[in-house]
Amino acid sequence: MILDAQNIEMSYGQLKVLHGVSLQVEEGQTFAIIGPNGAGKTTLFKVLTGERMASAGTVSFRGQDVSKLPAFKRARLGFGRTFQVARIFTELDLLTNVVIPIEARIRASGKSPGHWWSWEPSREVRAEAEDILERLGFPRQRWEDEAQYLSHGDRKRLEFCVALATRPGILMLDEPTAGMSPSDRREMTRFLARFKAETGITIVMTEHDMDLIFELADRLMVLNYGEVIAVGEPAAVRDDPMVREVYLGKGGQHA
Amino acid sequence: MMSLYLYAIYNGLVLGLAIFLVSSGLTLAFGIMKIFNFAHGAFFMVGAYTAYALTGQEASSLFVFLGAALVAALLIGFVGVIADFAVFRRLAGVPAEYTLMAAFGILLLSNGVSKIAFGQAVHTVYPPEALSAFLDVGIPVSVYGLFIIGAGIVVFLALEVGLNRLWFGKLVLAVARDPWMANVAGLRVQRLKLFSVVLAFALAGLAGGLLVANQALSLDLGHSYLLYAFCVVIVGGLGSIRGAFIASILFGLAESLNAVVLPSLPGIATYSLLIILVLIRPQGLYPELSQ
Amino acid sequence: MKLAARLSLAVLLVAFLLAPFLVHPGLVFIAGFAMIQIVFALSWNLLFSYAGLVSFGHAAFFGIGAYVSAVALRYGWHINFLLIPPISAVLGAAAAFLVAIVVLRRANGIQFSVLTLALSQLVVVLIGYSEYLGHDEGISAIPRPVINLGIATLDLNNPLASYYFVIVIGLIAIALIWLVVHGPIGRTMQAVRIDPERAAFVGIDVWRLRVVAFTLSGGFAALAGSLLAPWAQIVHPDYVNWLASAQPLFATLLGGAGFFWGPVVGVLGLAWLNYAMRTFVGLSEIMIGASLLVVVLLAPQGILGALRDAVRRRRGKVAGEHR
């Protein structure tokens, strides 16, 4: 079991957002978390990645208790993260965006990413960054482009490069297709499926796109008002009457 | 010995309330408009010079003295409007450093203009007849000092009541807390902001007019009070009048007792107090309007 | 565009190097002073544009360097003056390190800035107490040293020698800052400035980086300060107060904070303004105040930013290409 969360409780002041949520993710699995808006998906995500500390409960990664670790330490242990609205280093070019996490990873492992006086990234770092950009469909002529001029879909792809550059053990994807056009969504779905098959990486994601989930997810968890109301294989969860009630019975929240 | 401490405490209160008079406008400016108004000290100084220009070295009556202070307040308030329209309004979404730089630019501008208009001489100004007496209650208590304490308390109460109880004040606070929401709720955000700017600057001018007889009048007048005012605004909580009031008294007392307890180390109390307080409670005493 | 920039830099360098032969001694003095201010402003911008921290009290570190150097010269310490700038830099860096680990744990954003202001004013006040440091008048009549280089001696009483001493050390400092900023540390700093949370999520220890940035920045500021003592031959608390701390901020924003050479342009601009208006009481403040307002309102990217935009607009019109 690569990720194990036990009885996560989270309150913002008086407002309790998560009531004893537990989840287990196996290595190589794709685990999806869904639920209506306000169900606590983002909060749970923040607790898992270290953006926020839970009020109670534990999070373990590869058997190690990471509950008290800040985000950067979890990132160094192997958490890769993307955001609902892609966060990239806007004023820097594509190549530098990928170089930075690579150098951070090397530095975290105790080695030096390059001499402090060298004003270009080292050959190895540069090669790795170029490789990642190419694999994700960014051709050489775009590498010097400034990241802030990228389209929304390209930003998400670049953010994926940034996450990959840390060589994560687990990918935490927060609504990977949010804001995308239908064709971009299909593209992303295809890409994630291929990537999953090639690398066998563990993925935890929150999503509203049911097609993506049924295509990719091995396990599905449904949250509502901060509680787990169903968890299991996607087909089984879909047919669960409580889940149907949450999504269709109460005014038909769009999933 | 006891009387020395009593005197220091009295002096501290006078200084504290004087600092409050100056900081009240700065607090308002920061809380409402998020402007770190470096120029505040300059406007305080110009207010003082304006009042001096109207009353001469000694105001002929208490009425004249107060009237001059009021005129200074109105004048500086008007200047504040110009500054707001010309400068601050345009810097709404811009990072704080630029607003700071703009405020500093205004400070330098007013310093330069003041140098030319008022000259670099130092003037001594005396309080009006009605306030120039000394009471002997074991320690020499100046009536003018009592006046400053009284003025400070009056301004504090006026602002507290005005902002928290009166409907108009509540509107101003609403705009400060959430301009977008206030706009949605139909409030005339721009007008309210303008009113706040006028009030903040007018307070600076008023402070200048009221405090002009407290010390030697020179171009440096703004600087020392400005530094105190910044300390107060940070310690009190950005934008909190109550916090500014308490912080002002704290700093006034600290400075005054410093002179008695550690006369060879002047000024150390203020900065030490600031550092300690900010480290213990970075958000300020009353962080109501901080982000 | 890059060619024009490189050419301008080269011209500037040559102007600095040939100044004693081109202009009268008054301007040479200003040139040396400008070089010191340039290093100081670059050290400030290291913190601002590269780590995203606004320091209002940087003159405190500058002052450490200035006073260490002044004391060493005035009170005749038996130490080769060539060692004084590096020693000042180390002391400045150490002070900055201490401040950083205390302040950065607790304060961010505006509280950080105000704390730096308070700390530097505290330093001013503390200097004022000290008789050894000359109270409020400072230390004056600082003698220029004779430096023993082993194979020769460098007599800084020779005006040419002292000028080139300042220029050479200044250039070394600038080169070092350039290297730091363009290397892996600089890239990490930029990531932290642009999006600290994102940086954390790729495994960057944001707090540690800010401490490193502050330490380096304080060290370079102190290095600049150490050159002031032999150059101006007087140091006083006015070089350490909040107004002195604001100078690198203005120079940087005036020249353009987003550019490495922005502070250089800004310092030279301010120096020119101060010099041109020196005979008119109050006019220099009006001009500088007005310039600051103009930059903030019309050209927030500073002089270099305005130039870059003008070039881009011209290019857009001529070649018809869109960015």
Domain residue extents for chain A: 3-88+153-249, 92-149
**Any B CB within 8 A of C289 CB:** yes
**Average of per-residue pLDDT across C116-122:** 84
User: Taking a C-beta distance cutoff of 8 angstroms, is the pair B38, B103 a contact?
Assistant: yes
- C190 contacts A89? CB cut-off 8 A: yes
- C204 contacts A91? CB cut-off 8 A: no
Q: What is the pLDDT of residue C323?
A: 41
What's the CA gap between B254 and A62, in Å, rounded? 55
CATH assignment, A3-88+153-249: 3.40.50.300
What's the CA gap between B112 and B219, in Å, rounded? 10
Q: What is the pLDDT of residue A113?
A: 83
Residues of chain C found within 8 Å of residue B106, distances taken between Cβ atoms = 289, 293
Mean pLDDT check: name the lowest of A53-62, B234-243, C209-218: B234-243
Q: Among C50, C201, C216, pick the best mutation site for testing chain A contact (most A Cβ within 10 A).
A: C201
Question: What is the least distance, in Å, from the CA of B270 to any CA of chain C?
Answer: 9
Helices B40-55, B2-33: axis angle to 10 degrees equals 110
- B271 contacts C122? CB cut-off 8 A: yes
Q: Could you state, in order of their start, the residue ranges of all structural domains in chain B?
A: 26-92+124-289
- A87 contacts C195? CB cut-off 8 A: yes
Q: What is the pLDDT of residue A128?
A: 93
Residue B22 has pLDDT above 70, yes or no: yes
Q: What is the pLDDT of residue C112?
A: 82
Residue A114 is nearest to which of C184, C194, C323, comparing CB atoms?
A: C184
Residues of chain C found within 8 Å of residue B267, distances taken between Cβ atoms = 125, 128
**DSSP 3-state assignment of A57?**
strand
| Summary mean pLDDT of chain A | 87
Residues of chain C found within 8 Å of residue A149, distances taken between Cβ atoms = 323
Residue C284 has pLDDT above 80, yes or no: no
- C128 contacts B278? CB cut-off 8 A: no
Q: What is the pLDDT of residue C319?
A: 45
C209: nearest CA partner in chain A: A104
Total domain count, chain C: 1
* Confidence bin at C321 (pLDDT 50/70/90): very low
Mean pLDDT check: name the lowest of A77-86, B52-61, C3-12, C72-81: B52-61
What's the CA gap between C92 and C71, in Å, rounded? 15
pLDDT per position as a tens digit, A153-177: 889 889 999 999 999 999 999 988 8
Residue C183 is nearest to which of A51, A88, A114, comparing CB atoms?
A: A114
Neighbours of chain A (3+ CB pairs under 8 A): C
What's the CA gap between C323 and C311, in Å, rounded? 13
Question: What is the least distance, in Å, from the CA of B88 to any CA of chain C?
Answer: 9
The residue with greater pLDDT, B173 or B249, is B249
Residue C50's alpha-carbon distances to A97, B248, C189, C190, C259, in angstroms, are 15, 36, 5, 5, 10
Residue C204 is nearest to which of A72, A119, A163, comparing CB atoms?
A: A72
**Average of per-residue pLDDT across C294-315:** 85
Q: What is the pLDDT of residue A248?
A: 63
* Confidence bin at C187 (pLDDT 50/70/90): very high
Question: What is the least distance, in Å, from the CA of B241 to any CA of chain C?
Answer: 18
pLDDT per position as a tens digit, C140-167: 888 888 888 878 888 888 888 899 999 9
**DSSP 3-state assignment of A92?**
coil
Residue C182 is nearest to which of A100, A112, A119, comparing CB atoms?
A: A119
The residue with greater pLDDT, B249 or C51, is B249
Q: What is the pLDDT of residue B1?
A: 67
**Any C CB within 8 A of A107 CB:** yes
Q: What is the pLDDT of residue B187?
A: 67
- C121 contacts B101? CB cut-off 8 A: no
- C203 contacts A88? CB cut-off 8 A: no
**Average of per-residue pLDDT across A201-209:** 90
* Confidence bin at A251 (pLDDT 50/70/90): very low
**Any C CB within 8 A of A121 CB:** yes
Residue C35 has pLDDT above 90, yes or no: yes
**Any C CB within 8 A of A7 CB:** no
Q: What is the pLDDT of residue A131?
A: 92
Residues of chain B found within 8 Å of residue C99, distances taken between Cβ atoms = none
Residue B83 has pLDDT above 50, yes or no: yes
**Average of per-residue pLDDT across A184-195:** 86
C182: nearest CA partner in chain A: A119
Domain that holds residue C30: 2-319
- B87 contacts C293? CB cut-off 8 A: yes
| Strand stretches in chain B, DSSP E | 134-136, 140-142
Looking at chain A, the whole-number percentage of residues with pLDDT higher than 70 is 96
Residues of chain A found within 8 Å of residue C180, distances taken between Cβ atoms = 116
C208: nearest CA partner in chain A: A72
- B115 contacts C282? CB cut-off 8 A: yes
Residues of chain A found within 8 Å of residue C188, distances taken between Cβ atoms = 100, 103-104, 107
User: Can you give the CATH number for the domain in which C105 is found?
Assistant: 1.10.3470
The residue with greater pLDDT, A128 or C296, is A128
Q: What is the pLDDT of residue C54?
A: 87
**Any A CB within 8 A of C182 CB:** yes
**Any B CB within 8 A of C204 CB:** no
pLDDT per position as a tens digit, C234-265: 998 989 988 888 889 889 988 988 889 999 99
* Confidence bin at C175 (pLDDT 50/70/90): very high
Mean pLDDT check: name the lowest of A159-168, B110-119, C209-218: B110-119
Looking at chain B, the whole-number percentage of residues with pLDDT higher than 90 is 13
Which positions 151-190 of C are in contact with B (Cβ < 8 Å)? Answer: none
